[in-house]
Structure 1
Amino acid sequence: MEETQQLKTQLDLMQAALDHINQGFSAFDADLRLVAWNRGLWEMLDFPQNLARRGTHLEAFLRVNAERGEYGPGDIEGKIRRRLKRAELFEPHYFERIRPNGQIIAVSGTPLPKGGFVTTYSDVTEDRRRQEKLERTVEERTRALQQSEDWLRLVTDNIPALIAYLAPGPVFRFANRRYADWFGQSVASIAGRPAPEVVGADLFKILEPHINRAFEGNAVSYEYQRERPNGSSAYMRSTLIPDMTQDGRTLGIFVLSLDATDQKQAEAALVQSQRMDAVGKLTGGLAHDFNNLLAILMGNLLSLGRMDTPIAKETLDAKLSPMLEATKRGSDLIQRLLLFSRGKAIDPQTVSLARVIASAGRLLEGSLPSAIILETEIENREIAARIDPTQMETALINLAFNARDAMPEGGTLRIALTETQLGKREADDLGVSPGVYAQIVVEDTGSGMDAQTQLQVFEPFFTTKTFGTGSGLGLSMVYGFIRQSGGAIQISSALGIGTYLTLYLPLKRLEACDGGTLTETQGTRPQRGRGELLLLVEDDPDVANTVTEQLQNLGYSVLRAESAEDARSLALELPELRAVLSDIIMPGQINGLALAREIHQKRNDLAIALMSGYADWSALADQDSQCEFPVLAKPFAEDQLADTLHRILAAPPIAAS
């Protein structure tokens, strides 16, 4: 190749510039002869200096490398030929070669437009060592993390709690074995799935507001109920804790849930125990009331029995009227006491507080000494709260009996219902949210409490009564119930002056028609029949005679059956029959509810009503409490019977299930 002096000068200048590059560099022409290089190439790859001239063929470089073992053992000529053939293709290429001394060279070749190629050589030995070290570190840490996760899984799977982690979506990222079992899933099947799929759409509707609050950065606690596959109810108490960054972003939420079923059952047993304790305290007063009622009945019956002459209607009415009122009052007392004693432990509903106070007041009548005056003040009958009404009655009765014990010489017990607004400061002091509350004041003029007693009065098992006369659970149960209902309780007392207890409950408001007194039906003429034929199923002859007379007085025709078998035959054989009225509990026979369902399956044109003298007839009948037929509680007044019969005869037939 002939070079001019000017070209040689330019090449020398380019050569000097290339020597300053920290990579090796070479350029070969279309004949694979060296046209340019830099000092870095010879220093990096240790080539003989005699090769550092223009025109040296690529083969010479390949031979040096092959002979000193750069390409490994084997056929040297074959290795050179294969590399020359690849070079003649002038294709882009990149590879890394480890030299015998351990040096790692990255070779990157780029073809030139008119043939030949430019190649750069980089010593990447340190980079690859650092990368290998990093990979080993990552592998070790991954292994350690896996061990840590395995350990965490082992721990969380053996903790008696349900643990999970929810990412935005919400999507499950983690769940321990107990959490997976609770929802009938496996640990592997939960990860990555949306929450509604895992917990079910119906339950998710209940949990969603709590989950949303947690993703807003709030710690949330709540309870929910879920039906197990065997049909029993299970209760879960859950806490959601946000996983937050320092700048306030919520990455996810930790879920901690505890099975509260046993605790709920224990609470229910304790509440029932307290309720039965209150029933026991009421017994004396109720016995007094019933003795008075029996005295009225016995006195008038004896008076009527001694009369030898015909009795004038006015005289008969004068005797029968108080007897009828006495039986109604006795029935009312029994029903109220039974409802109170068997009330569910937790049955929140929006109820009129005026009605609850009035009901508790009626239960207390006669149970408080005559020296104690009971006063009730109701500001507004529309004031309501979402509470368990029987627990509220229990609370009021417990407070009333505590007041009674504090007034052995007599005094005044006042129960007042008002509406109040709690500002932020007052609400914070009480531990509730600001807003409108129903306020129930229970005030007595008794002996009062000292400051130390007031501090301990709501503690479980604390009592100032003589050992064996008080459990110390009454006020702690009241406190727990009020707090569970979203309210607060405040006490103010002084020795020798009395005690002033204030209960606060989040206010709900009823419409006047719901919160007011029920419309009185006395004096109105009961709905009468038009000779319709009814079947009465009652095994007690005296009761059957009485109910038959009531039905006939109301204008109905009556056919009686003393057994379930007779009732079944008559109901199916008499097309003119319009309705069936059956007792529920019939000893030794199929119960009335089962009989009614059997008749209804075959004749859904028959109107059916049931009656029972048992408060908890569903347990005795071995049936669930869901009854599709109206049930009359014995004893019942004629107008109640008339109203029930009118409703079932006027209503369309119930579809057979």
Structure 2
Amino acid sequence: MSRDDQATPRDPPPQRREVLSSAMADAVPILISYVDRDERYRFVNRAYERWFGVDRAQIEGRPLREVVGDVAYARLAGHVRRALAGETLIFEGEVEYQGAGVRFIEARYVPDITPDGEIPGYYALITDITDRKRAEETERLLIREVDHRAKNVLTVVQSLAQLTPFESKDQYVQALSGRIGSLASAHSLLSTTRWSGVDLHDLLRLELDPYGGETDEQVAILGPPVLIDAQAAQSLALVIHELATNASKYGALSRPLGRLNVSWSFDEAGVLRLAWREDAGVSVTPPTQRGFGSTLIESAVKQLGAWIEHTWRPQGLKVRLDLRQGAQARPTEGAPVYRPGVTAEAGPSLSDQHVLVVEDEAVVAMELTRVLTAAGAKVIGPAGTIEEAMQLLDAHPVDRALLDVNLGGRPITPVAKALSRQGIPFVYLTGYQEPEVDDGPILRKPVPANVLVGALARGALLTAP
């Protein structure tokens, strides 16, 4: 090896070092500057040009206060004095810059201390953290809003549980489950549109699907695209649910020849007028007493700021509902997409079927076990983890399975793949409106018992592709 090869690399000459330093300063995304003792900019990198929208030549040599503006200077002056006194400091804050607007910054001021102890100025390294701070604020507001809405929903459910009349256990469970399911339907649609509102047509379809839906001749839904805002959606869903429940028990939907027509339009004043017309096919006797459903409708209509009129005709009930607020017309192409889950269908029982239940919420798992056992199934589990589910699948015969999509933050994919390899049909059960799964049918929580049992009972039709 030659002596030249062994030589220690020399430092670049001063001029070259200056060029390299300037190039590196311009390459980084943060703001780098040098401010002298008179509080004048002596050097700024290219990031300053992007921030203030001017050439750096119009910044260098000018006083700090003149460049950043009086408001920003008042916010930064204390830090500047500390840096010029020899203190290294790091701080964050919201600063309103002249020409650059309001920015959240993370700043580091480093004093320039000479060998003899003089401080001719300081170096400033400033990172724009505006996007991060806004994201944090959005997250904070989102968490607060979710907490608020969750408490509201729990309060509504608690009130429904206390107010729903108890005549028998079966009657009470059916009535309460239906009302809670109505709230869940509204929430599902709202989550699809990020709580911007729900399409009236979709809301009606979701509430009326269990009774035949618009594809059945019994139910006709007709009207222009209308957006119901988030605050009104839940109350309107309850009104529709109570009307549909009444129609299924005593009105048009209780008889094969019955017909229900729901239509709506806006009047000249911008009021949305919804008409609910039942034709039972036979003469109908009006009720002789007022039930809780009527009281609930009245309360929901009041919350909507709406007006309602019931007219009992010989062929059935006619209802007119005027929404003076909370509804607006929208273009057809802007309507939210309706994505139904598995609906109720008649099917064989689950008698003697071994059903693997994978659900990590203990109370939900207990209820699923109760429903499936009552339908004649032999429940395997419930399993609360992926590992437990895989062990049960290896140790027991399984005819079909019910899978929660997410177990403690972990996707259920390994269990679903194992079931698919063995040709065992399964159904997903989830609280997500749009779960990231596409290899099996999906039920959305909360789900009526008949829908759950019917979905599992269809067997081979549900085998994952």
Structure number, greater radius of gyration: 1
Determine if the TM-score, normalized by the shorter chain, exceeds 0.5.
no
Q: TM class, shorter-chain normalised?
A: 0.3 to 0.5
Q: TM-score, normalised by structure 1?
A: 0.28
Q: TM-score, normalised by structure 2?
A: 0.38
The one of the two structures with greater contact order (alpha-carbon pairs below 8 A, sep at least 6) is 2
